[in-house]
């Protein structure tokens, strides 16, 4: 943990999508 990875970005994206969908 510490370096930005594609997985981290995808995780945040999906997390935001789930938040918007509720």
Residues of the chain with pLDDT under 70: 1-2, 4
Place of tokens 């918007």: 20
pTM for the predicted model, two decimal places? 0.39
- The Cα-based distances of 11 to 3, 7 in angstroms read 14, 6
From residue 13, give the alpha-carbon distance in Å to each of 20, 21: 11, 12
Confidence at residue 18, expressed as pLDDT on a 0 to 100 scale: 92
Residues shown for the chain: 22
3-state helix, strand, coil in the chain (%, to 5): 75, 0, 25
**What does the pLDDT read at residue 4?**
65
């Amino acid at each position: 943990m510490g370096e930005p990875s594609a997985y981290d970005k995808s995780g945040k994206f999906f997390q935001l999508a789930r938040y918007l969908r509720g």
